Chains A and B, each alone.
Chain A
Amino acid sequence: MRTSIEENRDLSAIKKNMERSSTPGTKTIHNGRHVMEIENVSKSFFVYTNGGETVITEKKRFFSRKKPCELVALKDVTLSIDHGEFVAFLGPSGCGKSTLLRILAGFESPSNGMAKCKGACIQGPHPQRAMVFQSERAVFPWLTVESNISLGPRLQGVDSEQRKERVAKTINLIQLTGFEKSYPRTLSGGMLQRVAVGRAIVNHPEVLLMDEPFGALDAQTRNNLQDHLIRIWQSIEQTIVFVTHDIEEAAYLANRVVVFSARPGQIREIVKIDLPHPRERTSPEFLEFRNHLADLIRH
C-alpha cells in the first residue's frame, strides 16, 4: 500500500502558509509573563483508503464516498511557556510532540483550540519562532556558513553593517570562528547543527523551537552539543522548546519536561527539574528525575 501525505506536506500547502504572516502582539497587550500559550489544542488527521492507496489529509474531503478514519494526533493540550524557560517535550514515537512543535512553528494549524505567541494567534511561520530541524541537511548546502547565518537578517531587511555585527557575534557564540567561508559539505554533522542553531538565533527569536536536533548524531557529539546549547541558553536568555524521545537528554537539558502519552497525544504530566546547570549525569538527584521520567514513559 502506498501512503502519501498530501496537503499537509505538499508544496502548495506550504505556499498557503507563506501568504500568512503573524504579527507578534502589536495590538493586544500581553501581561509579560507567557511567551507562548497553547489553549485546548487538538489536531486530527483523516485517513482515506482508496483501493490500495492511503491518503492522509488535514481536512475532511467534501466529495467522498467513504467515511474516513480519524487519526487523533493531539487531544486537548493546554500549556503555557514563560520567558527564559527551557521546556522539553518528551514522549514515545507517534505521541504528537513533533506535531505540536510544528503547530507552534506555524507549519500546521490546529483542528481545535488556539496557539498564541505573545498574545497573538499563530498563523504561519515567522522568524520570531525560529526552528531547528532534525536533519542537519536543513542548512543550505549552496551557501557558506556566513551566508547561511546572515540569510535571516537579510530577509528581514537589516542593513549590512548591523548584519555583519550580528553574524560575527553569533558565530562566536556557536564557536565556529574560522569556518565562515566554508561550505556545508566540508563540515561534520555536529558543526552543521551548530550552524542551524546559529541561523535560528541570529534573528533574536522570541522562542527557539528544536525538533530532535541531536537525534542523528553520535553520542559524543550529542553530549558536546548539549553542553553548547546550555551555554548558549544561559548567555542570551533564550526561551527554548526542545522535542526529544531521549529521557537522558530531556532530564539533562530542561527545567520543565512535558511528558506526552501516545494515541491520543495528551499531556501526561509536567515535571519541573530545578537542578542547577551544568548537571551531573551520575548524581543521585539527576537519576531520581530520570527514573521518574522513565516510569512515566513506560506506563
Chain B
Amino acid sequence: MELRTKIAVVAIVMALGLLTVALDRASGGEQVYDQKGGPVDTWNRPMEKEFKVGEVHNPLHFMIGMAIAVAILHLLKSQFPKVIPIVLVRALTSVGVLLIAWELIVYMHFVRSVLLPPPTTVIAKLQGHWAKHYLQIHIIASIQRLFIAFFLAILTGIPLGFLIANFRRVSDYIDPLLNLIRVIPPPAWLPFAILWFGIGNPPAIYIIWLGSFFPILLNTIRGIRNTQQIHVESILTLGGKRMDVYRRVMLPSAFPTIFTGIRIGFGIGWVCLVTAELVAVDAGLGWMIEDARNLLDTPTVLGGMVVICMLGILFDTILRKTEQMIVRWQ
C-alpha cells in the first residue's frame, strides 16, 4: 500500500475514535459496566482510594487506543522497514487484535464479566495490587522458592548424573530406584509432602526439586555417555590422565546437552511451582490466584496468570541467551 493510503487509513481510524469518545462523553457516564448478572461487585469496587490511577479504565478508550497504536505501528513499519523487525510488528498486532476483541466481547455483554473480565479491569486490578505491594510480595515469594529448589536440583543432579554415567556399579544400584521415582509425577507427592513438612516453603521446594531434578539428571547422563571415543583417545595421546579425561573432555563435550536439560528442568520446575503453590503454601503467585478464586475475584485470577506467563517468558529468554553466550562453540 502506498504512503498516502496508509496515512488516510490512520487518519480515518483516529477520526472515528475521537467521534466515539465524544459521543461517549456526551452521553455522560464514567461508570463502565452495570451489574447485570454479576453476583458481587468485588471486582467492580471503585478503587480510587487505593491508587492514584483512578477508576477502572474506560473500555472504549482502551479499544480505540489499541487500534490507533496498531495502525501507527504498521505505518512506522512501512516507513522504516529496517528499524522495526517484522516479527515484532506481527506479534504486537496479533496481541492487539486479540485484546480489542476480548474487550469488545465483554463490552457487548456476550459474556458475563464475572466469568471473563475485560483487559481494562484486569490491568486496573493489577495496578491496584502493585500499589499496595501485594503483587510484589507474592512474586518474590514464588521466585525465591523456585530458585532455591532449582539450584538444589542442579547441585544434586549434575554430580549424580556424572557418577551414574561413569561408574557401572553406581548405575546398577541406583538406577532401579530412580526409574520408579521418575515415573511418579511431582504433584502426586503433594499430599505426602504436606503431611511431612506442613504448609509453607518446604513442601513446595521439595516438589519443584523433584520436577527439575530428573531432566537435569537424565540429560547429564546422556551427555556424558555420548562422549566420543576419539576425544578420549586424543587426550590420552596428549598425555592426559584420568582426571584430565573427566575435566577436559567429558564435561565440556557434555555441556550443551546438560544445558538443554537445565532449560527443560526449569520449565518443568515452573509448572510444579504453580501446582505446589495452589495447595501447599501460604504466599506466592499460585496462592494469590487460588485465594482470588475463592473470592470469585476473577480479574486477579487472570492478572495472576498473566504475571506468571510473563515471568516464565522472562526466565526462559534469560536461559536461552545465557546458553547462546556460554556455548559459543556449537
Contacts and interface: CB of A to CB of B under 8 A. Distances in A.
Query: Quick check: do A and B touch in the complex, using CB within 8 A?
Result: yes
Interface of A: 9, 11-12, 14-15, 17-19, 105, 107, 124-127, 129-131, 133, 135, 137-143, 151-152, 155-156, 183-185, 199-200, 203
B329 A185 contact: yes
Given A152-B238, A152-B239, A137 B253 contact: no
A200 B238 CA distance: 7
B236 A133 contact: no
Contacts of A131: 233-234, 237
Interface of B: 166, 168, 227-242, 244-245, 248-249, 252-253, 255, 328-330
A155 B293 CA distance: 63
Contact of A183 (B238, B239, B329): B329
A130 B232 CA distance: 14
B236 A140 contact: no
A18 B241 contact: yes
Contacts of A151: 235, 238, 248
- Which 9 pairs between the two chains have the least Cβ-Cβ distance? A125-B236, A127-B239, A152-B238, A138-B230, A142-B252, A131-B237, A155-B239, A183-B329, A142-B329
B239 A156 contact: yes
A295 B197 CA distance: 82
B170 to A, nearest CB: 13
Given A140-B252, A141-B329, A125 B244 contact: no
A140 B249 contact: yes
Nearest to B228: A137
Nearest to A202: B238
Residue among B227, B240, B252, B330 having the largest count of chain A Cβ atoms under 10 Å: B240
Given A141-B330, A143-B329, 13 more contacts: A9-B229, A14-B233, A15-B245, A18-B242, A107-B233, A125-B236, A129-B237, A130-B237, A137-B228, A138-B233, A140-B253, A141-B253, A155-B239
A139 B329 CA distance: 12
B238 A138 contact: no
B102 to A, nearest CB: 46
Nearest to B330: A185
A142 B239 CA distance: 19
Contact of A142 (B168, B238, B244, B255): B255
B239 A138 contact: no
11 contacts: A9-B229, A14-B232, A126-B237, A127-B238, A129-B237, A130-B237, A131-B233, A137-B228, A140-B231, A143-B329, A184-B329
B231 A11 contact: no
Contacts of A17: 236
B225 to A, nearest CB: 9
A263 B232 CA distance: 29
A124 B241 CA distance: 11
Given A11-B232, A15-B242, A183-B328, A105 B237 contact: yes
A126 to B, nearest CB: 7
Nearest to B328: A183
Contacts of A139: 234
A199 B231 CA distance: 13
A205 to B, nearest CB: 9
B233 A133 contact: yes
Given A18-B241, A185-B329, A140 B230 contact: no
Given A18-B245, A155-B244, A185-B329, A137 B239 contact: no
Contact of A18 (B236, B248, B253, B255): B236
A131 to B, nearest CB: 5
A140 B210 CA distance: 34
B243 to A, nearest CB: 9
Residue among B235, B239, B242, B252 having the largest count of chain A Cβ atoms under 10 Å: B239
Contacts of A11: 166, 227, 229, 232
B252 to A, nearest CB: 4
A19 B244 CA distance: 12
A127 B238 CA distance: 5
Given A152-B238, A183-B328, A125 B230 contact: no
Contacts of A15: 242, 245
